[in-house]
Amino acid sequence: MSEVVVVKFGGTSVKSIGRIQHVCEILSRLSKTNKVMAVISAMGDTTDYLLKLAKQCSAQPDKRELDSLLSTGEQISIALVAMTLRESGVKAKSLTGSQVGIFTETFHTRARIIDIKTESIDKAFAENDVLIVAGFQGVTDAGEITTLGRGGSDTTAVALAAAVKATECDIYTDVDGIYTADPNKIHNARLLKRISYGEVLEMARLGAQVLHPRSVELARQYGIKLRVRNTFKPEHAGTVIDGGGDMELFRTISGVAVDEDQASVAIMDVPDQPGIAGKVTQALADQNIPIDMIMQSFHPTIGHNSIAFTVSDSDLDQTIVILNALKEQLSAKEVLADPDSAKVSLIGAGLTGQPWIAARLFSTLGQNGINIKMITSSEMKITCVVARSQAHKASELIHAAFELHNEPGKTAGAQN
């Protein structure tokens, strides 16, 4: 297959017919020099609307039926985009996840892509210049419709770029690129011209509304350069995401991320024995519940520990049920939950080798009366769990303390 341009447009880019027409103008220009594969999300808040409908029918909708429902959002948008392009004379065709050959595992609502059959892509490109593909969805070997989880259209785009051997993938959204913090909440957040896979992966995992983490993992694995661009400023260069190279030499700290969709959970006074943590994590894994920031702490009761971790707020109720079922089996004392939790994270390169960074971070929060409930760190992040009501204030204080509004070389990137 000759070089294919792969692009992805998010829900805000196609939320109205006027915006769809604008997207089609971009695709039409691209199609004059290349074959184009465009992955499209559902229009605007369509997915939220469909979820609301589902909750009106069932307190806990069956996940198979939920996937069947949610996948229709993207089918509407791809058909409208294809119609608009064809009306303007561009040879275009819409394809659902199953039609384009995206095969996934059998987990509903959070499926992972396991294979893409390119035969249908080759055939469709033989007769069309632009293929409009539904993001966020796939199909199992048994023909069951699956969805990839929120933000899954990013993953669809990168996986398709890998399948057609594209070297780049442009992600179009409603902002100019990736910033040092959420520009809607921190007015002097600075646009990053370039960032590494590792840094943006941490940002995405830690709550920054940038890209779906799995899409960045795939891009790193296949060496695909990503670019985040503004649909409404198509000439703007945006932010390039690649291997990073010498990034640590000129910028230690990349940004601050906030994730308010968090809850803290602890199972108290479990026996200090091998295999206890494995039983807890396996029980959650069996229900496909991801956990984060897990820690085991010493308890004054001799021979007992407590295991604490964070989960997504939407998984809290199910997590409590699972842990309560384990409590007697593990001879634990009780299960505690703290829904008033949010993660605030500082992200950069080589953080653990520079102890002044952690010291400044913790001192900044402490001096401003913000209590830290949990802490975790790695080479590229330091994360604090704080009360949800203090998360925004914490991010502002951290952004200012490290002078992230300044260009590299002018920032507080060295110990004072």
Res 154: pLDDT: 95
H runs (alpha helix) in 3-118: 17-31, 46-57, 63-87, 97-100
Q: What's the pLDDT score for residue 416?
A: 40
Q: What is the mean pLDDT of each run of 10 residues along the chain (416 residues)?
A: 87 96 97 97 96 95 96 97 98 97 94 95 96 97 94 95 96 93 90 90 80 92 96 94 65 87 91 88 91 79 83 92 91 92 90 88 97 90 94 96 80 44
pLDDT confidence of residue 285 = 93
Tell me, what's the pLDDT at 16?
97
CATH number, span 4-174: 3.40.1160.10
With beta carbons less than 8 A apart as the criterion, state whether 167 and 21 touch.
Answer: no
Annotated domain spans of the chain = 4-174, 256-401
What pLDDT is recorded for position 87? 97
What's the CATH number for 256-401?
A: 3.30.2130.10
pLDDT at 249: 44
The pair of structure tokens assigned to 252 is: 């230690």
Rounded distance between C-alpha atoms, residue 197 and residue 56, angstroms:
40
d(C-alpha 358, C-alpha 181), whole Å: 18
pLDDT, position 253: 87
